[in-house]
Chain A
């Protein structure tokens, strides 16, 4: 039995080590726990319970030392002893989950991390049913004599002052007592209390912030303003670390409401400024970024409120964060915020274009596209020559969206670029411009001899761009292309016809129905598929 108990303790120590080394779903860890559990269960089979007495360096069971270790950092006995644990009793029937919770607690790194609770409190909060403890609390108190002194003093006071007999004499003359009537707890009382408990949020950050802002409006001295603002800032830092963006939004709203509601003094106004600066600070924005990368979910409403309440001074920090973020979803949120925030200071956003990192430049251009301020075009234009094609493409699209005629010459050159992806982006951008001269650029490309040698993707992009105009002359040109009979039904010609058919569908040219109906029986699959798509579009438009 003693040997088995010794082995059990060793196995618990092994499980404790493995808990630190491996995640809980790791097979090695699971095996160790299984082993401790099976040893414990078999030891408990003939016994109602197992008792372990703990001293500074030893663990005893059945009056025998089953564990001894004097190492300050490694001793299981010392780990338990230092928090006042004197005895552990494990009862028969202990479930694996309870054992695992126990291992989890003793595996915490109390030496290196700061915890609010010690082992005893952590175990107690778990409310174990099969592990019982006997704990010594006396070491918590610095003054051993406190109890004795307080009692002696209270008793001494009793000896000097009690007038019990006088009370007794006067009692008969006193009025009869009026009984306080206790109203019993009614069903409605209980229900409303239950509802309240269930709806209670554990996190009271919003309430605290609300109260602190009230205090800020009440206080009169500089010192208390500073103190209150300092506390609010600390609470906000905590809130952002916890992903509580509602708290940040609340603070920003309170600052924005300012004097209308709270009639802050000038001094309080200065404190509000310091809170605003804090929320817009690099520290807070960086913490926000980390949370985003950790998968924090934010509602559209909160993102919108957050971005509309932020100050433009936060733009550079958000751009820095954008450069650091690791996940696409978090980048999307920051882009959304910067697209809103950037409207207030385009110059600060433009600084992102000067960054060495291609992706940050690309994302900055994307933000500028979303902001939609045409004055950014001048700054975007050089990016069409950026060494990275991904940046070039984003810049080309931005020029298409934001640029007017003055950027067309740039795009026209790019339509003949050596890189097909650039050519395609340029075609799309020209289409996005929507001006008559842009239409001519596309038509020119289609009419060009070299057009038939382009890939179908590029051809289709040209027709897609052309569909934007829906002009009579465009329909005529397209009809001519689809009706054109070629001696050799070459693949290249069919690709042009397929693109044109697709375009007729996009434009909604009803007169093309007959010819498209014929083309849907073509032997060429590409032509057949695109004619069919166009017919569907036309029918859909008719039905709609």
Chain B
């Protein structure tokens, strides 16, 4: 058999997928079953490829990502269900790491499987599993949440913040240069998108959190970066590779660049747009495409970005603008950007729409538009990404505490992490993080959201809590 290319990131996909297959088969069949035997054998072979190369094969679960021999495994749509299955199985056993070492044979795999399956209904699943494996020298396990060698939360938060503001600053620079008719370099823009992709790959929630803060003066630049972040996050969930994510991020960053050509008196108009204003405003997709093609020069990336700029207001049913005489299917990347654009725009206060909608209300409006204006499948992915209560939602818990949604929970969309800002006695507090997925000793959830309020109505400034 041909040894797989070790530089191929899909290697990790195979191992995660195969372990999931083994576990599923194991739960259905008896030990001697042929399907189970062959699944185990394939799993052992995949492990051995890594062991031969690195002297070990280690699977880590950090956040919602698997790592195989410290390389993050790209989320793949092909294996989506198996990945999610394995995530759930690892989490319910509090399993964060399993390391296989040389001289691994099928009997070791069997012992691992026995320990894994046996721990499922234990009250202390990790400890049960650990005890079962205590005599097996070449398999080690680690508890969930104890990842080693990772940056501290504070460091990561600082780096993410830096990347976000760098992106805004560079976007501002590019737009200003374009307006002044100056030459613009794409290198910086790509570097910054690369940096955002990198952060989203390793910890998507922090950068998404940054997009929830809407209280900056320069809406246009923040909006561009926010749409880029949210688009990359969707693309990452879909399983696009790094290059495609970079192209998507760039296209999203420049989707509104045509607004630099819209006269200020229209762009900054505080009253409702009249027909003439709309006529001018509706030209920005074309201006955007033109700017992109002119400043970047024509290549595959700029063509992709120009298509996104031209189509991002067209809607899936082509009811938007510009209106087409000959129908054409909206481009895949445009459909992603359109969702990110609509979400960020509606949750922001813009010049012509001072009062934004609350994140949960926006989601419900978008879901009503799913399939009409927006791609229904990509929208599902987006909702799964941001959760039922997106970051920035103001929520009241059944414990009479009030909080702000801080991080989405990929496994339970209605149980995000929340920053408590008012305690149960009605005292304003500095804010501490609680995980709504946590259960009390009685096995019940400690806190549950009962009401959502519009944070904009009360002018709640997320910057105070998130920055």
A residues at B contact (CB < 8 Å): 84, 93, 95, 97-98, 101, 115-118, 120-121, 124-125, 127-129, 137-138, 140-143, 146-147, 150-151, 153-155, 157-159, 161-168, 170-172, 174-180, 182-185, 187, 189-190, 192-194, 196-197, 200, 202-205, 207-208, 210-212, 214-215, 217-219, 224, 227-228, 231, 234-235, 237-238, 261-262
Assess whether A214 is in contact with B467, with CB atoms less than 8 Å apart: no
Does B428 count as interface, using CB distance less than 8 angstroms? Answer: yes
Cβ-neighbour of B463 out of A117, A120, A151 (below 8 A): A151
Contacts A140-B170, A177-B452, A231-B293 given; indicate if A125 touches B246 (C-beta within 8 A): yes
A218 to B310, CA, bound (A): 13
Other contacts beyond A154-B463, A168-B402, A218-B323: 12, CB < 8 A: A116-B296, A116-B299, A141-B170, A155-B461, A155-B467, A164-B422, A170-B453, A211-B310, A227-B290, A234-B293, A235-B293, A238-B299
A153 to B464, CA, bound (A): 11
* Number of cross-chain contacts by CB at 8 Å: 252
A168 to B399, CA, bound (A): 13
Report A-chain residues with C-beta under 8 Å of the C-beta of B346: none
Contacts A162-B461, A185-B80, A185-B381 given; indicate if A93 touches B7 (C-beta within 8 A): no
Does B354 count as interface, using CB distance less than 8 angstroms? Answer: no
- One of B87-95, B118-126, B189-197 at the interface: B189-197
Contacts A116-B301, A234-B298, A238-B299 given; indicate if A167 touches B458 (C-beta within 8 A): yes
Assess whether B190 is in contact with A193, with CB atoms less than 8 Å apart: no
Report B-chain residues with C-beta under 8 Å of the C-beta of A115: 187
> Nearest-CB distance from A48 to chain B (Å)?
10
Cβ-neighbour of B215 out of A120, A158, A175, A194 (below 8 A): A158
A190 to B215, CA, bound (A): 37
Contacts A118-B191, A180-B367 given; indicate if A171 touches B461 (C-beta within 8 A): no
Assess whether B165 is in contact with A182, with CB atoms less than 8 Å apart: no
Which of B78, B170, B191 is most buried by chain A, counting CB atoms within 10 A of its CB?
Answer: B191
Beta-carbon contacts under 8 Å, B354-387 to A: 360, 363-364, 367, 377-378, 380-381, 383-384
Contacts A117-B187, A150-B168, A171-B396 given; indicate if A235 touches B303 (C-beta within 8 A): yes
Assess whether A137 is in contact with B396, with CB atoms less than 8 Å apart: no
Contacts A117-B187, A124-B198, A190-B80 given; indicate if A179 touches B213 (C-beta within 8 A): no
Sorted from nearest, which 5 A-B pairs have the closest CB atoms? A158-B461, A154-B463, A147-B165, A158-B464, A146-B169
Contacts A124-B198, A157-B461, A214-B322 given; indicate if A185 touches B307 (C-beta within 8 A): no
Assess whether B7 is in contact with A98, with CB atoms less than 8 Å apart: yes
> Nearest-CB distance from B81 to chain A (Å)?
7
Assess whether B71 is in contact with A261, with CB atoms less than 8 Å apart: no
8 contacts between A and B (CB under 8 A): A93-B6, A127-B241, A147-B161, A147-B169, A153-B216, A180-B363, A180-B383, A212-B310
Does B272 count as interface, using CB distance less than 8 angstroms? Answer: no
Report B-chain residues with C-beta under 8 Å of the C-beta of A153: 216-217
Report B-chain residues with C-beta under 8 Å of the C-beta of A238: 298-299, 303
Does B49 count as interface, using CB distance less than 8 angstroms? Answer: no
Interface string of B275-308 (1 = CB under 8 A from A): 0000000010010011001001011110110110
Does B432 count as interface, using CB distance less than 8 angstroms? Answer: no
Beta-carbon contacts under 8 Å, B422-460 to A: 422, 426, 428, 449-453, 455, 457-460
Assess whether B325 is in contact with A174, with CB atoms less than 8 Å apart: no
> Nearest-CB distance from B366 to chain A (Å)?
10
A182 to B411, CA, bound (A): 12
A189 to B360, CA, bound (A): 24
- One of B37-45, B136-144, B326-334 at the interface: B326-334
A196 to B331, CA, bound (A): 10
A101 to B293, CA, bound (A): 30
Report A-chain residues with C-beta under 8 Å of the C-beta of B325: 214, 217, 261-262
Beta-carbon contacts under 8 Å, B207-229 to A: 213, 215-218
